[in-house]
């Protein structure tokens, strides 16, 4: 979901656009103890469409990038 809100002009509007992306990611985990492990991952998000935000008059303002990077890390508790 991408959202935009206008400001500073005589007439402003807000809009939301839903878009679909594909994801390619890898994730790994290391168990530190019987109950604790840590994990990390990284991936790329590639949108199927790249909608633009446009202002009447000045024109083009923003467009979704060709690809985005997503990273994560955390700890996990394991319960028997």
pLDDT, tens digit, for every residue of 21-67? Answer: 899 999 999 999 999 999 999 999 998 988 877 777 777 777 888 99
pLDDT at 34: 93
Residue predicted with more confidence, 76 or 3: 76
pLDDT at 14: 73
pLDDT at 6: 65
Nearest of 14, 19, 25 to residue 63 by alpha carbon = 19
User: In the β-sheet with 36-47, what is the strand arrangement from edge to edge?
Assistant: 21-31, 36-47, 68-77
């Amino acid at each position: 979901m991408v959202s935009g809100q206008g400001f500073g002009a005589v007439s402003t509007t807000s809009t939301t656009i839903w878009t679909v992306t594909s994801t390619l990611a890898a994730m790994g985990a290391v168990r530190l103890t019987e109950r604790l492990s840590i994990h990390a991952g990284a991936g790329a998000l590639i949108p199927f469409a790249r909608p633009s935000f446009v202002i009447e008059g000045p024109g083009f303002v923003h467009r979704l990038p060709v690809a985005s990077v997503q990273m994560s890390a955390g700890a996990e508790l394991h319960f028997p």
